[in-house]
Structure 1
Amino acid sequence: MIVPRMQPAAQPGDFQVGCMWDGATKGGSHSAGGMVLLGPDRTLLLARGVQFPQLDDPMMVELLVLREAIVWCMEQGLAVVRFEGDAKVIIDRINQAIMRDSRLGAVLEEIGHYFRTQSSFSVRFVGRENNRVAHLVARKALSLYPTMSCFFDSQSWLVYRV
């Protein structure tokens, strides 16, 4: 499937997208994540699911999905992005620049680096009820195991299940 490439805004402050993310695990055998790009008016632009075979740590899954979302937005050429998720512990650590954790440290540090170098990227907490679409994409990616990546560029699948 061909994924449309979005063009960055002419002025960084003129166009801001939201990128919601969420992780999901299944029986300790594999995990997946969902990412959803939203336009300035909160309409669905694009959704993506990714999988993490043999990973059962929910916090690590959330971190890896956020890292994938950041890289995905950079690949799309997006200049101003607000990342939104329901993993409060992770978001607090990023916003407070707390990067030390024996099992999460390297990924936390990499994510912190992205936010330090991309000054127009921000991250904020949203409640689980406001993150349902990203969660549905993550659950769908889990059901497609072992397919490694899936893209949803049609709103009909998500609207039908929301």
Structure 2
Amino acid sequence: MHSTAQVDDSHLVCIWDGATKGGSHSAGGMVLFDSPRTLLLARGVQFAQMDDPAVVELLVLREAIIWCGEQGLSEVRFEGDTKVIIDKINQTDTRDSRLGAVLKEIDHYFRAQSGLSVHFVGRENNRVAHLVARKALSLYPTMSRFFDFQTWLVSKV
């Protein structure tokens, strides 16, 4: 694990993305950068029997928020490429029955931590998180929680 103790977390960006495969399983990638876009950390997650791309995107964002919290980070700009989801979060619209429970949980995190924000970025700006999500998906179901996504990612970009 990399220490974030000396990182100014007011300039951190966490990009995330989800990926699905034929309704059988899905995965997500999240990548943490500092303000000059230097790679700090990368992580992949997997979900069994999840085929709804919108739900997967939300689950990955929730995991990214929790992951950043575990690193002791309280000010993070989250960036994703799913505009509909990001608009729902920013409007605190939790009425969508498919997404409601996860949206409410994410809304709770954002209300509890005023230093968190979520923003839309185009797919081209989310490419690195997409690579991590696809790698996590390719490792299903044998991915070790200790897989070094950061080292793997550095070799790819």
What is the TM-score of this pair, normalised by structure 1? 0.89
Compared CA separation, residues 8 and 88, structure 1 to 2 (3 A): farther
Task: Give 3-state SS (helix, strand or coil) of 1:32's partner.
Answer: strand
Return the alpha-carbon distance in structure 2 between the equivalents of residues 104 and 148 of structure 1.
Answer: 28
Q: Which residue of 2 aligns with 1:71?
A: 66
Q: Which residue of 1 aligns with 2:5?
A: 7
Superposition map of 1:47-58 within 5 A: 47-58=42-53
**Larger deviation: 140-149 or 120-129?**
140-149
Compared CA separation, residues 99 and 8, structure 1 to 2 (3 A): farther
- Residue 108 (1) aligns with residue 103 (2): yes
Among candidates 130, 150, 155, match of residue 153 of structure 1: 150
Structure 1 alignment gaps of length 5 or more:
none
The count of residues paired between Structure 1 and Structure 2 equals: 155
Return the alpha-carbon distance in structure 2 between the equivalents of residues 110 and 43 of structure 1.
Answer: 29
> Conserved in 2, the CA contact under 8 Å of 1:21 and 1:69?
yes
**Larger deviation: 139-148 or 16-25?**
139-148
Q: Which residue of 2 aligns with 1:85?
A: 80
RMSD: 1.6
Q: How far off its partner does 1:9 sit?
A: 5.8
Q: Which residue of 1 aligns with 2:123?
A: 128
Task: Give 3-state SS (helix, strand or coil) of 1:40's partner.
Answer: coil
Moved over 3 A (4+): 148-151
Compared CA separation, residues 122 and 8, structure 1 to 2 (3 A): farther
Structure 2 alignment gaps of length 5 or more:
none
- Give percent identity, aligned residues only: 70
Return the alpha-carbon distance in structure 2 between the equivalents of residues 161 and 112 of structure 1.
Answer: 34
Q: How far off its partner does 1:8 sit?
A: 7.0
